[in-house]
Chain A
C-alpha cells in the first residue's frame, strides 16, 4: 500500500516562529502537493512539485515556501507563522498524469498562538 506520512498530527506554534511541516511518501511518486483545509473553503492548493527541486505555486502560496530535495520528501515552510495560518494541512502524492489518483497523509492540525 502507498503510504504518505506527515511528521505531526497536531502542532502548536507561536506567532513569528519558523515552522516546518514534513511529508514523506514511500511509492516513488513523481508529484507531491500541499493543501490547506478550512471549513467552508474545501482544500486549497498551496504548492505542488512535479519533480525533485521543481515546484509551482498553487492558489494560495503567500506566506509559504516549499522544499523538495529528495523525491520522497516534500516540506512546507511557514517562514514567520501568523494566526491566520492556523489550519489543517494535508499532503498528497500522485504517480503522474498517467495515473493521477492522489494518496493523502493523515493531516497536520496547526495552531498558531
Chain B
C-alpha cells in the first residue's frame, strides 16, 4: 500500500524568506504523480504544483518549486519570497500505477509572519 509522510506538523517563516516543507512516500509503482495542495483558512483546496515521476526535471510554478528525489522517495516543496497569503495547510499527495486512489499526507501548517 502506498503511504505519504509529512514529518513537520507546523512550520513558521518570516515574510520574504524561503521555507522548505518535507514529504516522503512509499510505493512499489514506477509510474506515478506527486502533488502539493494548499488549504487556506477558506478551506478550498488548491493545487500548488505537480510532478510526474518519469520527469527528471523538478517542477516549478513561480515562487514554488520541488526537489524530487525518486530513489530516496522524497518530494519537498520550497516556497521562495514567502508572502502572508501563503499561510495555509499544505498537503503532499500521491497517485500511482493503475490505482485510482489518491493518498494524502497529514499536512503541514505553515504560518508566514509579518
Interface residues of A (CB under 8 A from B): 31, 33, 35, 40-45, 48, 50, 56, 58, 88, 90, 92, 94, 97, 100-102, 104, 106-107
Contacts and interface: CB of A to CB of B under 8 A. Distances in A.
Nearest to A35: B104
Interface of B: 6, 9, 33, 35, 37, 43-45, 47, 50, 91, 93, 95, 98, 100-107
B102 A92 contact: yes
Given A33-B102, A42-B104, A48-B101, A97 B91 contact: no
Contacts of A33: 102
Interface secondary structure of B, over-half rule: loop
Contacts, number: 54
Given A90-B45, A107-B43, A42 B91 contact: yes
Contact of A102 (B44, B93, B106): B93
A43 B9 contact: no
A90 B60 CA distance: 27
A58 B43 contact: no
Contact of B106 (A41, A45, A94, A106): A41
The 10 closest A-B pairs by CB, nearest first: A42-B106, A104-B45, A43-B104, A100-B95, A107-B43, A50-B100, A42-B107, A100-B33, A42-B104, A31-B100
Nearest to B98: A97
Contact of A45 (B33, B91, B103): B103
Contact of A58 (B44, B95, B101): B101
Given A41-B106, A48-B100, A102-B37, 16 more contacts: A33-B102, A35-B104, A42-B104, A42-B106, A43-B91, A44-B104, A48-B101, A58-B101, A92-B102, A94-B100, A97-B95, A97-B100, A101-B50, A102-B102, A104-B45, A107-B44
